[in-house]
Amino acid sequence: MTFPSNPFHRVLWRRVAVTLPLACALLPALAQTASGNARTSPRAADYIVAVVGQELVTNAEVQQRLAAVQRESVRGGQPVPAPAELRRQLLDTLIDERAQLAYARESGLKVDDPELDRAINNVAAANRVTVAQLRERLARDGTDFDRFRANLRDQILLERVREREVNSSIKITDAEIDAFIESRRAGVAPSEYNIAQVLVAVPEGAPEAEVAARRAQAEAALARAKSGEAFERIVADVSNGSKEQGGALGMRSADRLPDLFVEAVRDLRAGELASQLVRSGAGFHVLKLIDRKDGGMMIQQSRPRHILLRPSAGLSQEQAIARLADVKRQIATGRPTFAQAAREISEDGSAPNGGELGWVSPGQFVPEFEDAMNKLAINQVSDPVVSRFGVHLIEVLERRSVPVDRKQLRDIARNVLREQRFESAYNDWAREVRARAYIEMREPPQ
């Protein structure tokens, strides 16, 4: 699949061309995926184009998907490949979906009935009908409601297995996190350390024999410390440096300590010894880390809430956007409130909490969501925002600046790196699932 270069268009294209609902072919009147004579006799030209495991892909499905993508392309102003190439890409997408659904079922993933009911209610609301009227219109179009419901469940299942499997496949190493943090080091406060030392001084210009004797004295002190003897006692017996406070230098930032000291204790926990002597111009040092305060920086956290609609059977991305734009207008009047609307229609686990997502740090959300969130004023409701999860309304309730410690900084870096690799990891996983599936291509009937 070829993606447009513009990030927003890339997301839009992925939602339309990659995850357009499996059931769109079942609901031509509501999903508006067919037109003219393509709808009058869909079975006349129907035939099997591919077998994926125990599932069939039909020509009617490919044609419905083709019509939907072309319509969305015209309305969204996005170019698409020539019809023959687009048909090939969409057939590949349908085959991928069948293989991934089989994988999801085999792995035990399920969609519960309440979540499915919310999705069906959203389909009905987007088409300005009740669920009962939706049933009637489906019946008039020759679509069994249970089948429609099953296809919608499959679409939600697809989204879920993709998120689970792709996220688990992305591995971020400590070295990559370190490099990421280092590249953004500006504004990060240096770490602070309280280091105690035993100093065995070496006079400037001392002969080699004296240097060796001083080294042996320092190594003996290190051995005593490693054996568990009180560090303060060793300082009192051996050190040529300050003996106050057991040789502790006091809490100092890393930039106020010798680089040799910082390097020696950087990976130690409080109370641990440096495993080797440190040689400086002053002599040999036995070092113990008394305490540390890892450096960090101030970051802006937001406390947002959102309403999520997932494009699905009968609810195209365009309809989800229109539906949420209407919900935004209603919220502006106070009926319903944002929280009430989230509880009633949001297809996210945050729905019972009125859409609230808690305090979040940079890198926790996909870029499309985070960029839109960061531009909002407090209590401002966004226009509909498209992400790979669906379409959102976002409101920011509060913001605050907080210091982050070393662990939090690493978590933020890990999240950002994972998101950067998601699309590539998805493509790799999709190829792997497809390679394991039984696929048989069928020729058109003569």
Q: Tell me the backbone φ, ψ of residue 153, rounded to 5 degrees.
A: -60, -40
- Give the pLDDT score at 201: 94
pTM attached to this predicted model: 0.47
Burial of 424 (0-12, 13-18, 19+ CB in 10 A): exposed
Is residue 410 a part of any domain in this protein? no
DSSP category for residue 6? S
Does pLDDT of 44 surpass 70? no
- Give the pLDDT score at 40: 32
Does pLDDT of 22 surpass 50? no
What is the spatial distance between Cα 390 and Cα 83, in angstroms, rounded to a whole number? 26
Q: Does residue 209 share a domain with residue 269?
A: yes
Chain segment 222-263, per-residue pLDDT in tens: 999 999 999 999 999 999 988 989 999 999 988 889 989 988
Q: Does residue 155 share a domain with residue 17?
A: yes
Residue 352 sits in which domain range?
Answer: 297-404
**Cross-strand partners of 385:** 392
- Give the pLDDT score at 184: 65
Is residue 49 a part of any domain in this protein? yes
Q: Does residue 301 share a domain with residue 289?
A: no
Mean pLDDT, residues 286-293 taken together: 92
User: Which of 30-39, 144-153, 168-177, 232-241 is the most confident on average?
Assistant: 232-241
Does pLDDT of 63 surpass 80? yes
Mean pLDDT, residues 152-164 taken together: 88
- Give the pLDDT score at 295: 63
Q: Decide if 290 contacts 299 (C-beta within 8 A).
A: no
Q: Decide if 44 contacts 445 (C-beta within 8 A).
A: no
**Cross-strand partners of 375:** none
DSSP category for residue 16? I
Sheet containing strand 48-52, strands side by side: 55-58, 48-52, 439-441
Give all strands (DSSP E) within 48-125, no chain letters.
48-52, 55-58
Tokens of 439: 């696929």
- Give the pLDDT score at 233: 95
Is residue 184 a part of any domain in this protein? no
Does pLDDT of 25 surpass 60? no
Q: Is 387 strand, coil or helix?
A: strand
Q: Does residue 225 share a domain with residue 115?
A: no
Give how many domains the chain has, as a whole number. 3
Burial of 151 (0-12, 13-18, 19+ CB in 10 A): buried
Q: Residue 235 CB: number of other CB atoms within 10 A?
A: 25
- Give the pLDDT score at 180: 81
Domain final residue pick, 245, 267, 293? 293
Does pLDDT of 128 surpass 90? no
Q: Does residue 160 share a domain with residue 41?
A: yes
Q: Residue 20 CB: number of other CB atoms within 10 A?
A: 25
Q: Does residue 216 share a domain with residue 151?
A: no
Q: Does residue 333 share a domain with residue 269?
A: no
- Give the pLDDT score at 143: 81
Q: Decide if 196 contacts 247 (C-beta within 8 A).
A: yes
- Give the pLDDT score at 365: 86
Q: Decide if 393 contacts 377 (C-beta within 8 A).
A: no
Q: Does residue 397 share a domain with residue 319?
A: yes
Q: What are the CB-based long-range contacts (under 8 Å, 24+) for 53-61?
A: 53/98, 53/99, 53/102, 53/437, 53/438, 54/102, 55/98, 55/101, 55/102, 57/91, 57/94, 57/95, 57/98, 59/444, 60/25, 61/25, 61/94
CA-based end-to-end distance of the chain: 30
Q: Decide if 233 contacts 246 (C-beta within 8 A).
A: no
Mean pLDDT, residues 279-294 taken together: 92
CATH at 269: 3.10.50.40
Chain segment 50-60, per-residue pLDDT in tens: 999 888 899 98
Bigger pLDDT: 410 or 1? 410
Mean pLDDT, residues 24-46 taken together: 38
Q: Decide if 287 contacts 374 (C-beta within 8 A).
A: no
Is residue 446 a part of any domain in this protein? no
What is the spatial distance between Cα 46 and Cα 302, in angstroms, rounded to a whole number? 52
What is the spatial distance between Cα 154 and Cα 41, in angstroms, rounded to a whole number? 26
CATH at 98: 1.10.4030.10
Q: Decide if 193 contacts 289 (C-beta within 8 A).
A: yes
Does pLDDT of 337 surpass 90? yes
- Give the pLDDT score at 439: 93
User: Which of 42-46, 214-218, 349-353 is the most confident on average?
Assistant: 214-218
Bigger pLDDT: 389 or 69? 389
Mean pLDDT, residues 261-275 taken together: 90
Does pLDDT of 21 surpass 50? no
Does pLDDT of 35 surpass 50? no
- Give the pLDDT score at 432: 93
Query: By C-alpha distance, which of 165, 168, 185 is closest to 177?
Result: 185
Domain final residue pick, 230, 261, 293? 293
What is the spatial distance between Cα 169 and Cα 171, in angstroms, rounded to a whole number? 6
Q: Does residue 157 share a domain with residue 117?
A: yes
Is residue 345 a part of any domain in this protein? yes
Q: How many CA atoms lie within 13 A of 290 on its CB side?
A: 17
Bigger pLDDT: 16 or 136? 136
* pLDDT bracket for residue 76 (50, 70, 90): low
Is residue 2 a part of any domain in this protein? no
Q: Does residue 324 share a domain with residue 275?
A: no
- Give the pLDDT score at 73: 67
What is the spatial distance between Cα 385 and Cα 367, in angstroms, rounded to a whole number? 11
Q: Does residue 164 share a domain with residue 138?
A: yes
For the chain, the average pLDDT equals: 82
Q: Does residue 30 share a domain with residue 70?
A: yes
Domain final residue pick, 269, 293, 317? 293
b/e map 268-286, b = 16+ CB within 10 Å: beeeebbeebbeeeebbbb
Is residue 55 a part of any domain in this protein? yes
What is the spatial distance between Cα 17 and Cα 39, in angstroms, rounded to a whole number? 21
Is residue 409 a part of any domain in this protein? no
Tokens of 167: 């996220």
